Structure 1
């Protein structure tokens, strides 16, 4: 036989794997929807800080901020968007899973038969 012995067998070796003392790190889990909803509710329901005496009714903004460059229409749009988001979050927080399932089933019943899944196969 030759100097080189190429016999198949054994598992593949991965550089830096756990077998050679490397550490395998787990991915962090993202927060659940409930935590996000709570955070949004807290942010939306937090009171606006009172302005110090002698200042105008505007909220203090750091110079060079993106709010300085926004038009009145853009500010109104963002305010309406925040209000809609807060309303949506409140509605989602008030409805239970049972209510959502009931609404979904009612919606499916109102659809025409065109949306039904056709049977495939014999019989």
Structure 2
């Protein structure tokens, strides 16, 4: 039976009519680095003793960066603009904390409820549906 463009295939990838044979590019294999361990019969993988964690908190990351820059000869030096920016950000944070004070979640909710109760009925949610 002759093959036709409209016959059903047995399986595998779909074959579209008129589509040229697009070949996927093959990835090039990287040569393995030659080390003393690779020349022996037992090959061991050399992994660093400390691998950096990917999921660390921003505070921890900032602390590690500061410690690295404080060490003699380690870390990069900040430019004048970066130093000014950090100083301004620190000042803004201090001012905001002084103005707002440190409030508990309960105090924040009470303040929000007081604000919402002072609004007019125009801001109330309309009733939707029966009841």
Shorter-chain TM range is 0.3 to 0.5
Larger radius of gyration: 2
Higher relative contact order (CA 8 A, sep 6+): 1
TM-score (normalizing by structure 1): 0.35
More helix by share: 1
